[in-house]
Chains A and B, each alone.
Chain A
């Protein structure tokens, strides 16, 4: 059997060639394109698993730009974004970070979950995010000017309850904000069907189940089931797992550890299938 050859790409060569499946919810595509055309950075707000990252892939495909995603975490320093010196064969060489690569290549740089990054790190994007559109590279003593194709986007979940993880006003006020939430029932059903291949009746029940868990938000659940979780459950069902089991493993256990809540959620799924 011939082994499938895995592609190895540099970040700025990562063009999305096949159209990612995305169902527009409102006018987000128009707004994004208008912002892009005007060189404005974009902030995606919304709960986890509602399609923010998929939307970015879709837009990258639409605009035919490479997509460079940085998943932010609390150890992310500004040199991780901008670049650093390395020693190679007795010489010191400069290596661009993902942000600098995206600027040079005129790509789309997507900072996922940006509040997770340290506050001093988020500040380095400020000059890029306003009308200057430059990335200062302090260590080189250079200013990197962004081409018109370059686009900066980041995502943020406003539902987190940590005072340490709030987006500074000076950062957020530089962005055009797009709000995402879970798609309407009929659309969500279509998405679940398309992503997993299960039949419409099952998809409809799954969406109904998601709404039940969303009713419980604030009553003991931090978040209801996301579209992503629904797709996971649907894929399990498509592979022959019983619906109740799929809901338990892919959704209920992912939502909570609380025993009472788990049994309530499991009862809800059992009542539907």
Chain B
């Protein structure tokens, strides 16, 4: 014990205490503790000490199986959240033993949040995130749920409880608990006091459950079964409750009906409900205020784009500071259309100059978001944005980014690239200064760790990629080969019949062609990749490189980062023509997060390098974690997106196929615009990036 605890011991802390306590247990238990203590010490000596110190207490409370799950639970915490929570878990051995039953049958949100998120996304409406929260509620963009649910004896039932909680929170958004500010206004006027929110929530739950019953009978059954199992006092609760709330089951009932009924019911207590959670109006108000302003502005900017398309000229150019253009209001209109699948039974068509216009997809989702929040497109929204709002949408021009760098940087040995200014519809000539910087190779520890971690995967990748290596081509009229060339034979036969000499080239032979693909991997090294995104990127690169080596495709790896237009940087990790040797592997390990993502210049630079390659197919694959962004606020938002789009467009003209692999879940909003609808893939789960990237590459080139 002294051996493995050595680094954690000091003059005041010795192994004597735990050792003497442990001595009281049989040899089997002692062996168990010593074995695991040594295992943990390989990761962290302090944790090993904590484990050893609390193990005797644990042994008194639990059997060895439970002990093992206790220590694995704590180590899991260490891996994910660090030392302190893990120590706390070791110290709380009594708590663990007490809740063990719950833990065995319970479900951890982390394990199922992926399923729940997809489930909610499928249900409809705004895509909601799932997160752990102390109180079960929603702010209309995130659903907060408890970290563990173990109220029921079976895992599957606990999952259903999670699902019911999620659905209830989702239903608030979809069936309009928050729509049109009815509820928030009542709270603001203090008609609905904080203490009475519970009763109102119970009424609203009746209304929402009725909606769910109509649209999702299966879900409703599950939720009722849960209430029967868990809300045991429900039967004893006010017998006239069902009659009181009957009007809320009507399909036409809205949140204001719940509110009106609530006003008549003062004095009632809220009946229990296992999946209801809480209503937190203030959390919703904060979120909705931000969203309402954003939605309104982006909707108006979209309207300005539509007007511009119609008029073939940008509106309001004479008034550079106008935020809206009131004269456009008369030309714009909406018409409600019945749509049984939308929450209020209506969708809206957009009219410009009396003619219906089909808004682009991103505008449609903005409109849906507005309708989900407000129930309609308010008439005052129907006005095109002026140049003032346009500019603000792009981030105000603060201090001039040029002056900071003027004269301080020499531009020798650097490349100058044009940048696309979409508001001018022009290139800014030689606007960006780009340099190539060396990546300092790191040791190969990370490389070997990755090979160990993904050993099995690499093997199967090698196998799949070997199959791809070289497409088969059948060579005809060969002097030897594995099959007879019927055409040649027929000809020779005919020739022979006529009395000519019979040819000898009568066989077909399969030959493998060069794949003749050159691929450039462009890796995001911006500051936002710091931590495990960066780690996942490096792992992905190591796996993909192994696959590409097998495949024999020419490849290069470049990192990119940037800080204003004067400091765009690319980092050659492996150039074309360089071998994939220890130096290149070391550089992959040495990739680290830097500054921002000014993407245009690096794309133009790397396209130039790809163009110099003599290959039939040239691929530029970007690994990224977000949209283009820079310290320079002028680049943020639409400017950056449009510049990147333009750079990619230029790349396509040069015969380069751009493709993007992103982990940014909002990617689908802008990537189709930048890369084209079928030229990107979203890998929502960072941990799966390494495994996915090679798979995507295989699909892309076969």
Residues of A near any B CB (own CB < 8 A): 79, 84-87, 92, 139, 158-164, 185, 208, 211-213, 215-216, 218-220, 244, 260-261, 263-265, 267-273
Least Cβ–Cβ distance between B699 and chain A, in angstroms: 6
B218–A273 touching, CB < 8 Å: yes
Instruction: Flag whether B631 is at the interface (Cβ < 8 A).
Output: no
Report the minimum CB–CB distance from A266 to chain B (whole Å).
9
A221 to chain B: closest residue by CB: B118
Please judge, given known A-B contacts A161-B681, A212-B124, A268-B122, whether A92 and B494 are in contact too, CB under 8 Å.
Answer: yes
Bound Cα distance A85, B491 (Å) = 9
In whole angstroms, how far apart are the Cα atoms of A93 and B211 in the complex? 71
The 7 closest A-B pairs by CB, nearest first: A264-B118, A271-B219, A212-B122, A271-B216, A163-B657, A260-B114, A264-B119
Known: A92-B494, A164-B701. A216 touches B217 (CB 8 A): no
CB distance from B209 to the nearest CB of A (A): 13
User: How far is B494's CA from A163's CA once the two chains are assembled, in angstroms?
Assistant: 43
**How far, in angstroms, from A182 to B368 measured CA to CA in the complex?**
20
A85 to chain B, nearest CB (A): 5
16 other contacts beyond A163-B619, A163-B657, A272-B218, with CB at 8 A cut-off? A79-B487, A92-B493, A162-B700, A162-B701, A164-B617, A164-B701, A164-B702, A216-B122, A218-B668, A219-B121, A261-B118, A267-B119, A271-B123, A271-B216, A273-B217, A273-B218
Which residues from A are CB-within-8-Å of B678? 158-161
- Chain B residues near A267: list those with CB within 8 A: 115, 119, 163
- B194 within 8 A of partner (CB): no
Q: Are A86 and B486 in contact (CB under 8 A)?
A: yes
Could you list 18 examples of A-B contacts with CB < 8 Å?
A84-B487, A85-B486, A87-B493, A92-B494, A162-B701, A162-B702, A185-B341, A211-B124, A219-B127, A219-B684, A220-B118, A220-B682, A244-B218, A260-B115, A261-B118, A264-B115, A264-B119, A272-B217
Q: Give residues of chain B (80-131) contacting chain A, Cβ–Cβ below 8 Å.
A: 114-116, 118-119, 121-124, 127
Tell me which residues across on chain A come within 8 A of B218, comparing CB atoms.
244, 269-273
**Interface range, B side:** 35 or more
Identity of the chain A residue whose Cβ is nearest the Cβ of B122 in the assembled complex: A212
Query: Mostly helix, strand, loop or mixed at chain B's interface?
Result: helix
With contacts A92-B494, A161-B681, A185-B341 known, is A272 near B216, CB below 8 A? yes
Q: Closest chain B residue to A77 by CB distance?
A: B474
Please name all residues of chain A whose beta carbon is closer than 8 Å to the beta carbon of B701 when the two chains form the complex.
Answer: 162-164
* B222: A residues at CB distance < 8 A: 270-271
Q: A85 touching B490 by the CB < 8 A rule?
A: yes
For window 209-239 of B, CB contacts with A under 8 Å fall at 215-219, 222
| Given A218-B668, A271-B219, CB of A162 within 8 Å of CB of B123 | no
Please give, as numbers and ranges, the residues of chain B lying within 8 Å of A270 by CB-CB distance.
218-219, 222
- A256–B151 alpha-carbon span in the complex (Å): 32
Q: Would A268 and B617 be within 8 Å (CB), given that A160-B678, A219-B682 are in contact?
A: no
A259 to chain B, nearest CB (A): 9
B684 contacts A220, CB within 8 Å? yes
CA distance in complex: A220, B121 (Å): 11
Residues of B near A271 (CB, < 8 A) are 123, 167, 216, 218-219, 222
Q: What residues on A are CB-neighbors of B677 within 8 Å?
A: 158-159
The docked-state distance in angstroms from the alpha carbon of A215 to that of B125 is: 9
- A218 to B677: give the CA distance in the assembly, Å: 10
Whole-angstrom distance between the alpha carbons of A183 and B478 in the complex?
52
Could you tell me the distance in whole angstroms from the C-beta of A249 to the nearest C-beta in chain B? 17
Contact of A268 among B123, B493, B659 (CB under 8 A): B123
A208 to B216, CA, bound (A): 10
B44 interface residue (CB < 8 Å to A): no
B679 on the interface (CB 8 Å rule)? Answer: yes
A171 to B489: give the CA distance in the assembly, Å: 33
With A159-B677, A212-B123, A219-B684 as known contacts, state yes or no: A263 contacts B115, CB within 8 Å.
Answer: yes
- Give A68 to B495 CA distance when docked, in angstroms: 35
B297 to chain A, nearest CB (A): 25
Which A residues are in CB contact (< 8 Å) with B115? 260, 263-264, 267
Considering only residues 150-201 of chain B, those with a C-beta below 8 Å from chain A are: 163, 167
A93–chain B nearest beta-carbon distance, Å: 9
Residue-wise interface mask of B (656-691) relative to A, using a CB-CB cutoff of 8 A (1 in contact, 0 not): 010100000000100000000111011010000000
CA distance A261 to B115 in the complex (A): 6
Chain A residue contacts of B119, Cβ below 8 A? 264, 267-268
Shortest CB–CB separation between residue B155 and chain A, in angstroms?
13
User: Which residues on the B side are within 8 Å of A164 (C-beta)?
Assistant: 617, 701-702
Residues in A with CB closer than 8 Å to B122 are 212-213, 215-216, 264-265, 268
B490 pairs with A87, CB closer than 8 A: yes
| Complex contact B118–A219 (CB within 8 A) | yes
| B480–chain A nearest beta-carbon distance, Å | 21
For residue B681, which residues in chain A have a CB less than 8 angstroms away from its CB?
161
Q: Which residues of A contact B699 (CB under 8 A)?
A: 161-162
What separation, in Å, do the CA atoms of A253 and B702 have in the docked complex? 24
Measured in the bound complex, the distance between the Cα atoms of B487 and A85 in whole Å is 7
- In the complex, which residues of chain A have a beta carbon less than 8 angstroms from the beta carbon of B216? 271-272
| Distance of B365 from chain A, by nearest CB (Å) | 11
A215 touches B341 (CB 8 A): no
- How far in angstroms is the closest Cβ of chain A from B252? 20
Q: Report the separation of the CA atoms of residues A208 and B504 in the bound assembly, to the nearest whole angstrom.
A: 65
A211–B341 CB distance below 8 A = yes
On chain B, the residues within 8 Å of A185 by CB distance are 341
CB-nearest residue of chain A to B681: A161
By CB atoms of chain A within 10 A, which of B490, B491, B702 has the most? B490
Residues in B neighbouring A219, C-beta threshold 8 A: 118, 121, 127, 668, 682, 684
CA distance A92 to B490 in the complex (A): 7
Query: Which residue of A158, A218, A272 has the most chain B CB atoms within 10 A of its CB atom?
Result: A218
Across-interface contacts of B702 in A (CB, < 8 A)? 162, 164
| Residue ID in chain B nearest A214 by CB atoms | B122
Inside 8 A of A158's CB, which chain B residues have their CB?
677-678
The docked-state distance in angstroms from the alpha carbon of A267 to that of B217 is 12
B682 contacts A218, C-beta separation under 8 Å: yes
**C-alpha gap A139/B341 in the complex (Å):** 59
Q: Nearest residue in A to B339 (C-beta to C-beta)? A: A185
Q: Is A215 touching B121 in the complex (CB atoms < 8 A)? A: yes
Q: Specify which chain A residues have a CB less than 8 angstroms from the CB of B124 in the assembled complex.
A: 211-212, 215
Q: Which of chain B's residues have a CB closer than 8 A to the CB of A218?
A: 668, 682
Q: Which residues of B contact A162 (CB under 8 A)?
A: 699-702
CB-defined contacts of A272 to chain B, threshold 8 Å: 216-219
**Which among A86, A244, A271 has the greatest number of chain B C-beta atoms within 10 A?**
A271
CB distance from A112 to the nearest CB of B (A): 19
Give chain A residues whose Cβ lies under 8 Å from the Cβ of B215. Answer: 208
Contacts of A211 in B (CB 8 A): 124, 341
Are A260's CB and B118's CB within 8 A? yes
- Chain B residue at minimal CB-CB distance from A263: B115
CA distance A163 to B651 in the complex (A): 14
Residue of B nearest to A185 (CB): B341
